Amino acid sequence: MTQAAPAARRPRLFVLVPVLDEAPNIPRLLANLSSLAARLHEEMECRAVFVDDGSTDGTTERIREEARSLGVEVLRHEVNQGPGRAFATGFRHLATQLEDADWVATMEGDNTSRVETLLQMLVRRQEGFEVVLASPYMYGGGLTNTSLVRVLLSHGANSLIKELLGIHGILTMSSFFRLYAAPVLRRLQARYGAGILETPGFECMVELLAKLIGEGATISEVAMPLDGSQRLGQSKMKVTRTIRGYLRLFWVGRHWRLGGGGRPRASSS
Ligand SMILES: Nc1nc2c(ncn2[C@@H]2O[C@H](COP(=O)(O)OP(=O)(O)O)[C@@H](O)[C@H]2O)c(=O)[nH]1
Ligand SMILES: [Mg+2]
């Protein structure tokens, strides 16, 4: 008697989202993630991991109410610690579950990260890239319905970071919206252990990128139109704290590049 071969398990896509007081944005976000899960169903199993960082507006409860059939986990910090610490909690949690074929997407919880963009980012997997960045600074991307102060701050920080950390060929440094192959995250985990992310605030994405470049990760970018009008409520970014975070980053950042083993292989297409 011939035995049927066991069905191969689909790779998993873990969508990691840090949230602070995003209750009004949760119903649409979960509807969008559910539609993503349905569209990917044949090839990937989609799961959402939220890190609620001391929200006081019922964000966690809202996520649980709206999750329906989507696989959702909520990790909680009782007291707000910042998005860097929240991502660190999320990556630590995923480290125990990731298998080589899996992928991790990070995105914002305010509906400014579009599922359509994520589907385009996923196409880059097939071209062998380990990291795909959603890039408002790439041709075809852009920032709309964002205040002039935020646009200037964002452009200024982006250019300065590239100069000071000596990173060339990548257009967008700090966006939360990214896709990572599990093996590249595991390589970082092996090198840095629990210290995969040391910076507490919004500057954490630059830290992670610098470490990935140090690791020789293959990186690509996909144009992202970022439309601020998709968000209900205000930005949670504290401008002064973020500027302070970036200044600290330039100081500690020297070590990541010096400590890095690989040659950067960045590509924007
Ligand atoms: N975990 C955590 N998430 C945060 C914090 N501040 C902002 N966020 C989340 O990070 C994402 C980006 O923040 P957002 O307010 O949209 O910043 P902006 O897009 O730069 O204006 C959103 O999902 C926020 O809910 C924080 O202190 N902790
Ligand atoms: Mg936002």
pTM to 2 decimal places: 0.91
Instruction: Reduce the DSSP state of residue 72 to 3 states and report it.
Output: strand
Classify residue 264: in a domain, yes or no.
Answer: no
Residue (of 71, 69, 10, 15) closest to 43 by Cα position: 10
Cβ pair 108, 19 in contact under 8 A: no
| Ligand 2 centroid – CA 204 distance (Å) | 15
Residue (of 164, 182, 126) closest to 256 by Cα position: 164
Classify residue 220: in a domain, yes or no.
Answer: yes
Classify residue 235: in a domain, yes or no.
Answer: yes
Classify residue 265: in a domain, yes or no.
Answer: no
> Nearest bound ligand to CA 108?
1
Classify residue 98: in a domain, yes or no.
Answer: yes
Tokens encoding 222:
């996909």
**Number of domains comprising the chain:** 1
Residue (of 181, 201, 192) closest to 246 by Cα position: 201
Per cent of the chain over pLDDT 90 is: 64
Please give the DSSP secondary-structure letter assigned to residue 233: S
Classify residue 1: in a domain, yes or no.
Answer: no
- The predicted pLDDT at position 220 comes to 97
Please give the DSSP secondary-structure letter assigned to residue 166: T
Write the DSSP assignment of 238-249 as a string of letters: -HHHHHHHHHHH
- The predicted pLDDT at position 5 comes to 66
CATH code of 222's domain: 3.90.550.10
Tokens encoding 117:
């963009």
Best residue for ligand 1 mutational test, from 237, 239, 243 (most atoms within 8 Å of Cβ): 237
> Nearest bound ligand to CA 18?
1
- The predicted pLDDT at position 145 comes to 82
> Which residues in the chain come in under a pLDDT of 50?
258-269
Cβ pair 207, 198 in contact under 8 A: yes
Query: In which domain, by residue range, is 64 found?
Result: 12-253
- The predicted pLDDT at position 257 comes to 57
| Ligand 2 centroid – CA 108 distance (Å) | 6
Q: Which residues contact 261 (CB under 8 A, 6 or more apart)?
A: 214, 215, 216
Best residue for ligand 1 mutational test, from 22, 93, 108 (most atoms within 8 Å of Cβ): 108
> Nearest bound ligand to CA 234?
1
Pocket of ligand 1 (CB under 6 A): 18-20, 22, 51, 53, 80, 82-83, 86, 108-110, 176, 235-237
